Chain A
Amino acid sequence: MDDGQDAAETSTFLVVDDEPVNAMLLETVLSARGFRVVTAADGEEAVARFQEHAVDMVLMDIMMPGVDGYEATRRIKALDRGGFVPVLFVTALTDEQRLAQCIEAGGDDFVTKPISRVQLNAKIDAWLRTRELYRTVVAQRDRLRSHQLRLEHEQETAERIVARATASNALETPGLRYFYQPAAILSGDILLAGRRPNGNLLLLVGDFTGHGIGAAVGVPGLAAVYYDLVSRGAHPAEMLDAINEKLFRSLPSDMFLTAALIEVDGRGRRLGVWNAGMPPVWLVQGEEIRHRFVSSDLPLGVERNTAPGRRRLTYVDVPDDCFLYACSDGIVEVAGEGGALYGDERVEAVLRAACQGAGFDDLLRQVEAFRAAAQASDDATLVEIDLDQAFANDGGGYGAAEAVHWRTELVLDACTLVHVNPVPPIMNLLSDLGAMEEDRQSLYVVIAELFTNALEHGVLGLESKIKRSEEGFEKYYERRREALAQLTEGEVRLRVHYDPRPDSRGVVIEVEDSGPGFEYQRILEAAKHGDVAGALAAGRGIMLVRSLCEEIEYFPPGNRVRVRYSGTLAG
């Protein structure tokens, strides 16, 4: 900001007077103080000069031929867009009405004739200060406005990211209705819906601590993990562990996620709910609250997993005509006149009184009516599921015992075996085609062991015996590497047949290699008794396979094996 001296040195004055003597007098006073001066002899010329020069203040005579002082002032003020150029009328008039006209025309002050040097200087200084202050305020306002615009733009971008990250077709499931209202542009509330490979709908209703940007930054990461886990058929208990771990690692310690995870199992007509820190999840039938799933666990991201698989959903069988309601605390904790909170009881009363399927609209209406006018709203989410409808549209997912049968064969030649480990892609295939759920680790072991045996013993001709000691272990894998690098002949065929029967997952896996076969009888015998740790190193894998599969069959000369995995050990 300029001080008085700087302003004096740089300011430019426009002096308007048809009397050269008057103009010269003013010019003398102003020049003596170092101001630049531009003069005009009438209103017309004044407007022209004003447009030519960057004028800081105008001293204006009133009575002039042609365009007078009033009109010139009006035109100058109209030309001055936001810069604020004070216009001081220099006049001998004292008549109130004339002076009022000056103000009407846009004038800011008066200097009386005859000119007093002291009075003139005092007014000029005062107006220069005012003008400076005005400019500072305007500059700050403009800066604020541009910050505000940028912030809004950034929030809108963030909102689009969040919206994309959480979007899911599963939210369009028939029978599912939801209301989602952020308090600010961005919300800490989160609503995720996905279908497990078995067709079950899995819904997460959650609330990050706080709201606005701080709360919303956690949403996309959570959504990505959630949808990945759901589509891979992860067990809900494992999902919750994985989400907890992810949040614990990525969030600051004062931030966490309260959440309810809801599984809608259409084939079993079951409902599973896990609730940590959310309002109750209600299962309503007519006027009766059939079940109230209350919070039973710590929110996610608060502490490390101590007992994996501990976060279990509570499952209940669902009779006909049931509706499920879940909400965030933005519904339950709405404050009414006098500060009272809406509360669980009021929610339940509305849900019980509502006609079939009207609970959703009734509740939103009642909550809005209850809210005190002055009360700012919190992030709020409400979900309703008409379970009969949801059950009838269970997504036609895979995994229904009769739904899917498929088989595939993968033939890996020598060149491919050198470069590719087919087990991970086969695991993905199984998952995508719905052949596995919670027992994927077991299926992995079965497939990995059978493939490893076929490759290492059948095709590469390696002996497992040496693996028993540490050096042997190293040597074994060194030989494996060498043998694989030199491999020019041989192949492994992997056949997977998804053949579910009622109450059995039914994956048939057959592996055949181009090797000469091996003494499978001896290995099978050895694997039958004795534990894995004590077993021959070669028998270890086979023994795991034996324990996990209900059928295992080798075909002479021992280069082809077929197993049937049923997942009966699950649970």
Chain B
Amino acid sequence: MSIHTTAEDGGKTLVVNVRGYFDFSLHKDFRQAYKGAEGIRRFVVDLRETEYMDSSALGMLLLLREHATDQGGEVVLRNSSREVRKILEIANFQRLFRIEE
């Protein structure tokens, strides 16, 4: 599976790991990863194993952000490689997401 989730903070945070190509082909799995998580308000997308991402991935992140905002929560992007970071910055995502090293 290119997407797998883990819990942090005793279940208060959901961490979504995306491996390899982060593109539209993952949209269902990605949505499912957070849709089922009742009552969780803090979401972390761990990009450690993300090799490539494109604009549909950015779209998916925006949808996750919408979901989190509806719950009064937030989305953190974590462990992006230098290059993925560059893409996020071009897209000005640092204004919408907390980007952690």
**Bound complex: CA A427 to CA B21 (Å):** 12
Size of the A side of the interface (Cβ < 8 Å), in residues, is 39
Across the interface, A309 reaches (CB within 8 A) one of B24, B53, B59, B82, namely: B82
Given A308-B81, A470-B63: A533 in contact with B93 (beta carbons within 8 A): yes
Q: Which residues on the B side are within 8 Å of A444 (C-beta)?
A: 52, 54
- Say yes or no for A408: interface residue by CB 8 A criterion: no
Q: Which residues on the B side are within 8 Å of A442 (C-beta)?
A: 83, 86-87
- Say yes or no for A541: interface residue by CB 8 A criterion: yes
- Say yes or no for A238: interface residue by CB 8 A criterion: yes
Q: Is the CB of B83 within 8 A of A473?
A: no
- Say yes or no for A68: interface residue by CB 8 A criterion: no
Given A305-B79, A533-B96: A473 in contact with B59 (beta carbons within 8 A): yes
Fill in one digit per residue for A423-443: 1 if any B CB lies within 8 Å of its CB, else 0.
010010000000000111110
Q: Is the CB of A306 within 8 A of B66?
A: no
Q: Is the CB of A531 within 8 A of B59?
A: no
Q: Is the CB of B83 within 8 A of A439?
A: yes
Q: Is the CB of B82 within 8 A of A238?
A: yes
Q: 8 Å CB contacts to B: which residues of A501-558?
A: 531-533, 537, 540-541, 543-544, 547-548
Size of the B side of the interface (Cβ < 8 Å), in residues, is 37
- Say yes or no for A71: interface residue by CB 8 A criterion: no
**Bound complex: CA A427 to CA B23 (Å):** 15
Q: Is the CB of A307 within 8 A of B101?
A: yes
Q: 8 Å CB contacts to B: which residues of A306-340?
A: 306-309
Fill in one digit per residue for B62-100: 1 if any A CB lies within 8 Å of its CB, else 0.
110011000000000001111111110011110110000
Q: Which residues on the B side are within 8 Å of A541 (C-beta)?
A: 54-55
Which single residue of chain A is at the shortest CB-CB distance from B87? A445
Q: How far is the CB of B9 from chain A (nearest CB, A)?
A: 17
Q: Which residues on the B side are within 8 Å of A449 (C-beta)?
A: 54-55
Q: Is the CB of B66 within 8 A of A569?
A: no
**Bound complex: CA A452 to CA B59 (Å):** 14
**Bound complex: CA A540 to CA B92 (Å):** 11
Given A445-B87, A569-B86: A540 in contact with B55 (beta carbons within 8 A): yes
- Say yes or no for B33: interface residue by CB 8 A criterion: no
Q: How far is the CB of B17 from chain A (nearest CB, A)?
A: 12
Q: Is the CB of A441 within 8 A of B52?
A: yes
Q: How far is the CB of A455 from chain B (nearest CB, A)?
A: 11
**Bound complex: CA A241 to CA B91 (Å):** 25
**Bound complex: CA A241 to CA B49 (Å):** 11
**Bound complex: CA A424 to CA B101 (Å):** 27
Q: How far is the CB of A266 from chain B (nearest CB, A)?
A: 25
Given A477-B27, A544-B91: A470 in contact with B54 (beta carbons within 8 A): no
Q: Is the CB of A441 within 8 A of B83?
A: yes
Given A441-B87, A444-B54, A544-B55: A245 in contact with B48 (beta carbons within 8 A): yes
Given A440-B83, A441-B84, A448-B23: A548 in contact with B93 (beta carbons within 8 A): no
Q: How far is the CB of A442 from chain B (nearest CB, A)?
A: 6
Which single residue of chain A is at the shortest CB-CB distance from B60? A473
Q: Is the CB of B54 within 8 A of A438?
A: no
Fill in one digit per residue for A459-483: 1 if any B CB lies within 8 Å of its CB, else 0.
0000000010010011001001000
A interface list, Cβ under 8 A from B: 235, 237-238, 241, 245, 305-309, 424, 427, 438-442, 444-445, 448-449, 452, 467, 470, 473-474, 477, 480, 531-533, 537, 540-541, 543-544, 547-548, 569
Known contacts A541-B54, A544-B55; 19 further A-B pairs (Cβ under 8 A): A235-B82, A238-B81, A308-B80, A441-B81, A441-B84, A441-B86, A444-B54, A445-B87, A452-B55, A470-B67, A477-B27, A531-B95, A532-B91, A533-B92, A533-B96, A541-B55, A544-B58, A544-B87, A547-B90
Nearest first, the 4 A-B pairs at minimum CB distance are A441-B83, A532-B91, A541-B55, A531-B92
B interface list, Cβ under 8 A from A: 21, 23-24, 27-28, 31, 48-49, 51-56, 58-60, 62-63, 66-67, 79-87, 90-93, 95-96, 101
